[in-house]
Amino acid sequence: MKKTHQNIRTWYKLYGRLDLPWRTTTDPYHIYLSEVMLQQTQVSTVLERYYFPFLKKFPTLKALGTAPLDDVLKMWEGLGYYNRAKNLHKTAKILTQRGQAQGVPPTLPLNIDELIKLPGIGKNTAHAVAAFAFKQPVPIMEANVKRILCRLYKLKTPTDKALWEIAYNFVDKENPFDYNQAMMDIGSSICTPKNPQCTLCPLSSICQGKEEPTRYPNKKKRVVPTREQNIMLYTYNDKLSLTQRTGKFLHGLWGFEEIDVPLCASEYIGEVSHTYTHFKRICKIYVYDELDATRNNYFTVQEIRKLAISKVDDKILKLYLDTIQTY
């Protein structure tokens, strides 16, 4: 195992993405933020558009914990999976209040069990914070690491429990930071889902699955259901009506209204679609250009740009603006 760990470390020093900003900082909050942003989102997107602006706006846990949720959602706009932002905010709030009660600056707990108790911090995020921020000798378990472990041991449908056990046995306890970062980089650049390059892999000498790597793990075929919705844009005097969502879905974000049956006097302008993890939304868009006296929430386009809105609502707004421009 020592030799394998050495190979992994050497590979990481030569080919790893050593310069990623969350790998060069020792600030646990910055590392935690990157872990949350990177769930379901590519490194390039986080790096190019979200990580730095978010930290500029909320440079510390305290700054985040004392900010209004609307401001946090605005900085998260477009990144999707908004529960991540809400839980991040809740956790920062809890830690800020805890720090205030103790008369110290807020900090993340060192202990994995304590980390898991905080909103939105699952087992993998807790392990990542422990390994990367606090250099604890624990493994992480994101998608790239799972795939590598399955191939190393020819596992088609392992349970999470079995994978964690293997990961704990396999982790380099002397260099958990480099080891875990290397595993993610190997998974994203070499041991890729479709075209693994085993001849370049530092794990090749011990890999049991390298003859037919793509057989491991078994791929689950997912059927994504489709939901069709009618969306009504209430417009008046170059303003549009939006409401802030209070339900579970996209909670806290502003959006256009869904209705069962389009109003007779409305005009159909087209449809937009968006695929989430569990379903695809197809929205048929109608415009009702009369003042609706029951509404007091009309915004100009400039004002809407300052609100936190979802990707779908952004697409709807774009469709509307394109439509009125062609008239």
Cβ pair 295, 233 in contact under 8 A: no
CA angle at 245 for the pair 241 and 246, rounded to the nearest 5°: 140
Among 33, 210, 250, 252, binds ligand SF4 (CB under 6 A): 210
Number of residues that bind ligand SF4 (CB under 6 A): 14
- Shortest CB 7 distance to ligand SF4, Å: 11
Piece of the chain touching ligand SF4 by CB under 6 A; list 123-131, 196-204, 270-278, 314-322: 196-204
Is 35 designated active site?
yes
Give CA–CA dist 298/214, Å, rounded: 53
Half-sphere exposure of 267 (CA within 13 A, CB side): 8
Using CA atoms, how far residue 292 sits from 182, 277, 289, 296, 297, in Å, is 58, 35, 9, 9, 10
Contact between 191 and ligand SF4 (CB under 6 A)? yes
Among 9, 30, 62, 151, binds ligand SF4 (CB under 6 A): 151
Q: In the complex with ligand SF4, which residue's Cβ is closer, 205 or 300? A: 205
Give CA–CA dist 42/72, Å, rounded: 20
Contact between 209 and ligand SF4 (CB under 6 A)? yes
Among 106, 158, 196, 255, binds ligand SF4 (CB under 6 A): 196
Contact between 148 and ligand SF4 (CB under 6 A)? yes
- Shortest CB 209 distance to ligand SF4, Å: 5
Q: In the complex with ligand SF4, which residue's Cβ is closer, 62 or 151? A: 151
Question: Structure tokens of 156?
Answer: 């088609």
Piece of the chain touching ligand SF4 by CB under 6 A; list 45-53, 61-69, 195-203, 298-306: 195-203
- Shortest CB 39 distance to ligand SF4, Å: 23
Question: Structure tokens of 197?
Answer: 């390059």
Question: Structure tokens of 203?
Answer: 């794990």
Residue reference for tokens 């933020």: 33
Cβ pair 207, 221 in contact under 8 A: no
Residues paired with 234 in a beta bridge:
288
Positions in the binding site for ligand SF4 (CB under 6 A): 148, 151-152, 190-191, 196, 198, 201, 203-204, 207, 209-210, 213
Residues with active-site annotation? 35
